[in-house]
Amino acid sequence: MATHFLRGLLGGAIALSLANAVQAQDWPHWRGPNFNGAVAAKGLPTEFGPDQNVRWKTAMPGSGASTPIVVGDRIFLTSIDKSREQLVAMCVRRSDGEILWSKHAGSGYKPTPQGTNTARGARTRATYASPSAVHDGEHVVFFFGNGDLVSYDLDGEQQWRRNIQEDYGNFAFNWTFSASPTLVDGVIYLPVLQRDEPIQRGRRRRGGPKPADEPKQAVQAIDSFVLAINPVDGKTIYKHVRPSPAKVESLESYTSMIPYVGVSGRKEMLLVGGDVITGHDPATGKELWRWGTWNQGHRERFWRLVPTVVVGDGVALVCAPKRAPVYAIKLGGKGGLTKDSLAWQSEGRPNPVSSDVPTPAFVDGHFYVLSDVQSALSKVRAKDGDVIWTTKMSKEHLWRSSPTVADGHVWCMNHNGVVAVVSMADGKIVHQVAMAGEDDDLIRASVVVAHGEVLIRTNDTLFCVAQSAEK
Could you give the CA distance from residue 396 to residue 382 in angstroms, rounded to a whole number? Answer: 30
Q: How far apart are the first and last CA of the chain?
A: 36
Q: What are phi and psi of 341, to 5 degrees?
A: -80, -5
Q: What pairing do the DSSP bridges indicate for beta strands 258-261 and 267-273?
A: antiparallel
Residue 40, phi-psi category: left (phi > 0), alpha (psi -120 to 50), beta (remainder): beta
pTM: 0.90
Query: Strands, DSSP E only, in 153-285?
Result: 158-163, 182-184, 187-192, 225-229, 236-241, 258-261, 267-273, 276-280
Task: Please say if the pLDDT value at position 2 is more than 60.
Answer: no
| CB distance 454 to 448 below 8 Å | yes
List CB contacts of 101: < 8 A, sequence separation 6 or more.
90, 91, 155, 156
Q: State the DSSP string of 46-84.
A: SS-BTTBSEEEEEE-SS---PPPEEETTEEEEEEEETTT
145 DSSP assignment: T
Q: What are phi and psi of 3, to 5 degrees?
A: -60, -45
- 338-375 pLDDT tens trace: 999 999 999 866 778 999 999 999 999 999 999 999 99
Could you give the CA distance from residue 289 to residue 334 in angstroms, rounded to a whole number? Answer: 5
Task: Please say if the pLDDT value at position 206 is more than 80.
Answer: no
Lowest mean pLDDT among 128-137, 225-234, 281-290: 128-137
Task: Please say if the pLDDT value at position 7 is more than 90.
Answer: no
Q: In what order do the strands lie in the sheet with 342-345?
A: 310-312, 315-319, 326-330, 342-345
In the chain, the percentage of residues whose pLDDT exceeds 70 is: 86
Could you give the CA distance from residue 139 to residue 158 in angstroms, rounded to a whole number? Answer: 9
- 12-55 pLDDT tens trace: 333 333 333 456 799 999 999 999 999 999 999 999 999 999 99
3 state SS of 28: coil
Q: State the DSSP string of 404-471.
A: EEETTEEEEE-TT-EEEEEETTT--EEEEEE-S-TT-----PPPEEETTEEEEE-SSEEEEE-TTS--
Name which of 264, 65, 91 is nearest 178 in CA terms.
65
Counting Cα atoms < 13 Å in the Cβ hemisphere of 176 gives 21
Could you give the CA distance from residue 433 to residue 64 in angstroms, rounded to a whole number? Answer: 21
- 178-200 pLDDT tens trace: 999 999 999 999 999 999 988 86
Could you give the CA distance from residue 152 to residue 103 in angstroms, rounded to a whole number? Answer: 9
The CATH number that domain 2-201+223-465 falls under is 2.130.10.10
| CB distance 81 to 61 below 8 Å | yes
Q: What pLDDT sits at residue 4?
A: 35
Higher-confidence residue of 236 and 118: namely: 236
Q: What pLDDT sits at residue 18?
A: 38
Q: What pLDDT sits at residue 126?
A: 67
Q: What is the domain partition of the chain in residue ranges?
A: 2-201+223-465
Q: What pLDDT sits at residue 287?
A: 98
CA 292, distance to chain mean position in Å, is: 21
Task: Please say if the pLDDT value at position 461 is more than 90.
Answer: yes
277 DSSP assignment: E
Neighbours of 428 (CB within 10 A): 10
Task: Please say if the pLDDT value at position 382 is more than 50.
Answer: yes
